[in-house]
Structures are given as structure tokens and as C-alpha cells.
Structure 1
Amino acid sequence: MTPKTLEKLEQLSPADFEATLNDATTLHESGKLIEAHHLYKELLAQQPKHARLLFLKAVALYQMARVDEALPFIEQAVALDALNPDILNAYGLIRRNMRQFDEAKDIFEQIIKLRPQSYEALNNLGLVYGDQYDWEKASEYFKKALELSPDEPEVMLTLAHALRDNNQAEEGLVYYKKLHKMFPDNARHAFNVAIVLHGLGRFDEAIEYLEKVLKINPDDINAKHLLEATRGDKGATEAPESYIADLFDAYAKDFDMHLAALEYQVPKMLAARIPFAIAPKGKPGSWNMLDLGCGTGACGLYFNEYCARRVAVDLSPKMIEKSQAHGVYDDLHTQGIEGLYAESDELFDLIFATDVLVYVGALESFMEESAKHLKPGGLLAVSTELCTPEEGDFILRNSGRFA
């Protein structure tokens, strides 16, 4: 940040004004948002009704995650230049970021009327439908965008994701493979192919692509874990934290809907057992509760009646966001179980973990640390998947989960 870019500007001539605006946009394009924003602010003090300047200031604020501040500036820009597709596009993105999806859709549809060949507007409209879980409509607009720009990687990727999420994995796989062919040295595209093949039960093909990922990036621990699971390798004792975080970040958007479709009953079954276990203590409603791997927070609702304080931890930032929206917990931590146990000396009456230990094979350390964080007479309630005696103490299944 140079001092000159943060100085207060004297009144500028028209030519100097345009030159300074060009300097500001150059700073903006090079990622120097603070300096660019300062110049936009100074220039607006001299020309407060400059539509392009208002638009650029709004975009800079949006890119700095100051969305609420960006809104009035983009609204002023729209009022001054209501038919400018670039200004409208920024307006739509800001409304989408604020989760005002109907308003965002109206804006992107207006852009499409003004500029029918805008694949960006079609793609953005598809993204808004995806935000509302309408994967069929989202796919429709992504396909229209791809017709206009057949080799646009971003559109191809959003279409592949939408098809996968709409239970059209085979069709989505076509686009994931095309992206891998376009960018053979991109490990993420190869991993996307592997994930879909794995989900389709085409394990030999999944192994081929996981090996490609590791050839590109030998240190990719997520690919290593899934490869070990798919091949049935021995020796793994737990899933990498990054694997779990990425997996549940991807699930977060429609996780509750997924559980409802599965008629998921594990939290309810665990909660039903607690009254029998706590009868001798006789103090439900005053407990400290710790939810390990809280997900979206829906499971914690089953245990609320027993607790006065509710603490939760999850590796997935997107799951934590969903959990905050449910408002179940008093204290939320985005980290792993080991990290929380190492940092906290708080004791709990109840610790529970539903479908968490499926990502841990050897449970000895978990049990020891959990015991240290229980009050005398406290309860540890968990769910696991079962393996047979012939399989040993635990086994890593090709699902990537331990039994």
C-alpha cells in the first residue's frame, strides 16, 4: 500500500479525473482492493452521480466481503444506468450473496433479455436455482450457457455438479471427464471423476483416476484415503480431517434433506436410551452437552431437553454455518475432536457422536480422551458400524468409512 494511493485528492480536472479512475481500476484488477476502494471513495466525493464509479466501488466492497455496504452503491448505479448489463450483473451477484434469491433471479433474467448471448448471466441464473435446490432448473440454464460457450470450464463444472446433485451422475461424469481431458494436470478434476465413479460402484475405474490424482499430487491425503479404502488396503486407522471436511462441505447444502430421505433414526434412537441411563442421577435439564461432529445441528435437537449448556464441534465450515442457523448450540467450534480435547478442559455430563466414529478405526485414544472430559457419572453415547469377528477390531470399507 503506497501512501500516495491513500492521500486525499484535490479537485481534479476532467482529464485528471479519468486518469485517476484508470489508476484505481488498475489497482482493482491487480487485487489491491483497499487502495482501489480509497480512490473510488475520493473520486465519488467529486462526482457522486458517476454510475461506473458507483458500480466499481460496489464491486470492490463485494470482493472485500462487505456486501451490506456494497448494496446502496450498486442500487445507485442501477438507478443511474438501469440497462447496463455489467452493473446489473453485479447487482444480481450481491442480491444472491444476501440470499435474496427471487430478486437475484429477476435481475439475471433482465440481463438475459438485454444480452441474450450472455453465458455469464445464464450461468449465474443457474447458480441461483442451485441455491434453492432446484437442480433440474439449474442444469437447464447451465446447459444453455454451455451452448453459448462450449469450452468454458466454470460452466462445465457447475453443470457437472448440478447433474450429480440431481441424481444424474452418469451425465455429470461426462463433463467431469471432459474437464479432466482439458486439464490433465489438474488433480481436482481427476478427483471429481474418481468420486463419481466411486459413488457409481465402478471401483476399478475409480482406482485408475485416484492413481492419476496421486501421480499429479503425491501428497493428496484425501485421494490416498479413498484409494486405500477402494483397494481394501490395510493399515489406515482414521480418515484424514481434510477428507471429512471436504466431504461434508459438499453435503452441507442439502444434508438435512438427504437425512430425511434416508429416514435417518440414529440420534432419535440414542436419545431414547438416555432416560434409562440417567435415572439414577435424576438431573436432566441441567447438563453440559458436547456434540462431536454436529453437522447441521439437527441431531442436537433430540438432546436439548437434558441440557443447560450445549457445545458442538465439526470439521466442516459449511456444516457449522448450517448449525448456526438452527440455533441449537451455545458454543460452536470448527475443528477436529482431537483439537478440541487438547484445547479445552471443560467437563461434560453428556458427550455424543452420531455417525462420527465411522471415520475412526482405532478407538482407544478417542475413548481415553472422551473419558477425561466427562464428569463423574457422565455419559458417552456413540454410534458405530459393525464389522464381523473375522474382519478384526476394525476394517476400512470401500465406502471410505470404518466398521
Structure 2
Amino acid sequence: MRAKTIKSTATVFTEAMRAYEIGKPGEARRLARQLVEASPAFGGAHYLLGLLALDQNQGKRAAGHLATAIAITPGQAALHLAMGRALDICGEHAEACLHFRTVLGLQPYHAEAHARLGHLLRQQGRNGDAITHCRHAVTADPGHAEAWNTLGALLNEIGEAHEAAQCLRRALQLRPAWPSALNNFGLALKECGNLVEAATILEGAVDIRPDHAGTRTNLASVYRHIGQLEKAREHAEKATKLSPRNCDAWVELGLVRQAQGHEEGAAAAFDHATAIAPDHIKPWFCLAEACRALGQVERAAQAYRHCLTLDPDDTHGAGLGLALTGTADTPQRAPQAYVRQLFDEYADRFDSVLVNALEYRGPALLADALARCLERTEGMTVLDAGCGTGLAAPVLRPLALTLDGLDLSPAMVAKARERGLYDHLHEAELEEFLNISPDRYDLIAAADVIVYMGNLTPVLAAARNALRDDGVLAFTLEKAEDSDSYMLGAKHRYAHGPRYVREQADFAGFAVALLEDAVTRKDGGVDVPGMVVVLRKLSRKGDQSAPPET
């Protein structure tokens, strides 16, 4: 009799699962409930009821059924996977992660568990761990579209836009016309500098999902960067109407209005954003910048100070903005966190923007200046200080027996490494690195780097320390026409007066080999006045006991 009962239970369960798999949830539920009544200790029936509840997005009900199933048969990976899904729906993300980790303890190469754990870790801001799990997922199952999508989004967030785009292409090959992947792909293309293609992809995502505010916000951003401001405004306004509490949509609308010259409208949009997300730095910084443009000094200063309260490291350069309001002293240099973030975010599109849009000529100017000033033209130990993506490397490589690159931005160092022209690359702050590298270099070149430093005393002293006798320091600057010191410009870059540069060079123990006017870049199609400077280290420092007054 007992054998007959077990066989009957197994048969009914098989029928119930078959009904579930062929899309007959009502029949599957009826049979599962029949099993629970007849055999309450049979875990399979509770598992099936949990799956049916999951399909209806009833996380709490599903978790109840699955908890019973796990209590009966605790070592089943499928049960813990389903429980993780149920807890995720309920918002119990930490507990969901525990169940996905339990699955991986039982089956280390379980693609779905890796993918879902990666997704949850991304939501928790643990991008490194999330990327690891998503990579495991696509290795275990190359056809896992969700894992490719999450991996692509994560890689884009950490600045690996080109690999992100490859992952997202794969996701879309597996699931064409998938709005989430199209949105992420568009963002990756934007970061790669492929703005026209990004707009096309995001338009496709909007066509499929017209009521998604986030996608419209991203499309507005791309159109703003392209310069199609009316289209950008249309999508940004639609995004704020679709989701009035979407902070990003209001920020983007403000940026579009700002680009159109409507500073008052921009400030109003940023004001909305700060009310929605008072703990987010970007809306406050944008509001501060808009108020400063309107001449609302006190309001701008208040917003800048709030940024500094939220972000003491000052990744947005609020301290520089505060100085530009005239309510605080000018910092002697830009904050490290600001410079690092600025160039980390800029890395993937740095070359195209700098060379094409800004007509950047720094490396070419340094090459010409060095050709006129250097006594040696090969076999030197050279440092490309603030190397960025390595734009100056082709100019410096022929001069070097050893060519080192140095940058504060990890993303820039990674791009420079791809060129294959450097013997060594260092991720460090310039002055700190020079101060621990005594008598190491014959030539230090710094193109468009010292524009983020006002007071030249520390950097020139550090450069002198790192240079051998008769070593050369060559750099570009922006020129302050009517200043005997330095000044902070509206774009948060410093400009220096020629007399000040000569005085500082003399104090630091350098001879001026060349100091002449030059245009290193354009801004808005207008030449930015600059200088190219070549200094030679003297064997003995002068007798000055203090730097010239600034």
C-alpha cells in the first residue's frame, strides 16, 4: 500500500509539472494543491506552488511555499534559486543573495545563480563582485542574455565602455529589440564617443518603450552632446512628465536649457532635482553653476557649500566654483578627486573630443619646442607627466631610452597602456611621484597638466627634484594676459602670467630656455591663449629663501 501511495504522488507531481511547463497554470495549481492535501510532507508540491506564485510576481506567497519546500528538502539548488527570486521581489535583497550563494555552494557553475547574484550586487554598489559573477555566468552559459546585459551595464559604469558595448551587442544578438539592452547599449556607445549611433539605438529603445523616462533622459543627453538641442529638450521634457520624481530627468532638462542659454529655466530644473534628491551632489553642483551664471552669488555659494558638505573630497570641483563666486579664496590647485573623476569619465571619448572638437595641439607644440631646445635627441629617460591616453607618447618615444607615463586617473592609465609605447606606467599624483623620484629623469613633459595647478612653487620644486642636472621640464599653460600671478578661469582651469612663470622658474632653480605664446586648444571654436615653456635645471639652486609673492 505504501509503495502505491508514493507512486501515485510521483505520478500526480509529474502531471502537475507537465501542465506548468506547457502553460496550463490553473491545472498545475489544482494538482499541486491536491498533492499538498494528500502528502503535506512532499516538498515538490510546495516548490511548484512557489513557482506559480513567482510567475504572478507574488513574492511573499512564493517565499512561504518555498520555505516549506526547503525545510523538507534543504539541499536542493532549484529551491534556493526560486527562494532567492522570491526574496528579490519582496525587496529582501541581502537574504536573496544568501540563497543564490547557497545555490553556488551546491553547484559552483550555476549560470542563473551567478547572473542573479551579479544583478543584486550591482544594486548594492558592489560593482567589482557583480562583474565577477556576471563573467562566471556568461562563461557557464554563453547564451545567458540577462548576464550579458548586466555585465555590459556594469562595465560601462566603471569606464570600460568598449568592452561594455561588445557585451551588449551579444545580449541583443540573443534577445533582439530588448529595450533594457538597447538602452544600455546606447549609453555605452555614447561613452565610446559614437554619438550618432547611440542616438539611433536609443531612438529604437524609445519606440519600443515610449513611456520609459530613463531611456528618454539618456536620449536627451546624447542629442545635447550632438548639439541637437530641440530634440534634446523634447525628450527631456517628456521624461519629466512621464516621471515627475525622476531626478536625472530634471538634471538633464536643466543641462539642455543651459546649453540653449536659458539659465533661469536651467536653475528652475536643477531646483526641482535638488528637492527630489537632496542628498545627490550633481543637482546641487548644477544649480550652483547656473546661479553663478545668473549672477546670484549668495545662492550659488550656498549650493557650492552644500556640495562640499555632501562630498568633502570635492569630486565635482565645488571649491573652485565657490572661489569663482568671490566668496572664498582661490585654491592653490584643483582637488585631486575632481581631476581624477573628470578624466576617468572622459577617458573613452578623450581623444576624439580633444583632437577633433577642441583641436588640441599640446603634443605638437611640445615637440616643436623640444626640437629647438634639446641638446640630446635620443637615449633619455623621459616622463610623460599627466600622460592621459598617451597622445604625447609618439612625440616622446623617439627621444627616450626609457619612457614612463604618469597619470592620476586609472582609466587614463589603462588607455595609455593600450598604445604599447610606454616602458612603465604609474597611477599617482604628479607632485607626490616627482618628490619620491630624485634625479631620475632627463626630460619631464607635461602637456595640458599644469592648467589644474595655480601655485607653481610646489610642482616646480618637485620637478627639479626628479630631474638630473641639466634636465629639461617642458609644459603648456593657459595664459593670463593681465596677471603677474595666476588666476582661476570659468572652466575651472588655471591661467598664469608670463612674468609669474619666469619668477617661479628662477626661484626653483631653472633657466628659461623658451617661453612663448601658443594656442594649445580651442573652446567653443575660439582660440584659448596659452604658452609653451621649456625650463632647464641649473646645477645649483639660487639663494632665494622664499618664493616670489603671488
Scaled by the length of structure 1, what TM-score is found?
Answer: 0.74
Q: Pairwise mapping of residues 1-80 of structure 1 onto structure 2 (< 5 A)?
A: 13=73, 17-21=77-81, 29-30=93-94, 38-44=101-107, 52-53=112-113, 55-56=115-116, 59=119, 63=127, 64=129, 65-66=131-132, 67-75=134-142, 78=144
Q: Pairwise mapping of residues 1-400 of structure 1 onto structure 2 (< 5 A)?
A: 13=73, 17-21=77-81, 29-30=93-94, 38-44=101-107, 52-53=112-113, 55-56=115-116, 59=119, 63=127, 64=129, 65-66=131-132, 67-75=134-142, 78=144, 88-95=145-152, 97=155, 98-99=163-164, 100=166, 101-106=168-173, 109-112=176-179, 120-121=180-181, 123-135=183-195, 137=199, 140=203, 141=206, 142-143=215-216, 146=239, 150-151=243-244, 153=246, 156=249, 173=266, 176-195=270-289, 202=293, 204=295, 208-215=299-306, 217-218=308-309, 219=312, 221=314, 222-231=317-326, 234-260=329-355, 261-279=357-375, 281=376, 284-345=377-438, 347-388=440-481, 390-400=482-492
Whether contact under 8 Å (1:193, 1:209) holds in the other structure is yes
Stretch moving more, 338-347 or 140-149: 140-149
Q: Rate the CA distance shift 1:206–1:192 in 2: closer, same or farther, 3 A.
A: farther
1:116 paired residue number: none
Q: Distance in 2 between matches of 1:71 and 1:147?
A: 36
Larger Rg: 2
1:266 partner letter: G
Whether contact under 8 Å (2:119, 2:150) holds in the other structure is no
Residue 370 of structure 1: how far off its partner (Å): 0.8
Q: Distance in 1 between matches of 2:255 and 2:93?
A: 30
1:111 partner letter: W
Whether contact under 8 Å (1:156, 1:175) holds in the other structure is no
Unaligned runs of 5+ in 2: 1-71, 156-162, 207-214, 219-238, 497-550
Q: Distance in 1 between matches of 2:484 and 2:244?
A: 50
Unaligned runs of 5+ in 1: 1-11, 79-87, 113-119
Residue 157 of structure 1: how far off its partner (Å): 7.7
Count matched residues: 364
Question: In the TM superposition, what whole-angstrom CA distance separates every residue of 1:55-77 from its partner, at most 9, and x where no partner exists?
Answer: 4366579851325433123435x
Residue 380 of structure 1: how far off its partner (Å): 0.6
Counterpart secondary structure, 2:139:
helix
2:25 paired residue number: none
Q: Rate the CA distance shift 1:360–1:91 in 2: closer, same or farther, 3 A.
A: closer
Structure with the bigger percentage of strand: 2
**RMSD across aligned C-alpha pairs, in angstroms?**
4.0
Whether contact under 8 Å (2:83, 2:96) holds in the other structure is no
Q: Distance in 2 between matches of 1:29 and 1:181?
A: 28
Over the matched positions of the two proteins, sequence identity in percent amounts to: 23
Q: Distance in 2 between matches of 1:384 and 1:203?
A: 29
Question: In the TM superposition, what whole-angstrom CA distance separates every residue of 1:98-117 from its partner, at most 9, and x where no partner exists?
Answer: 330533444564334xxxxx
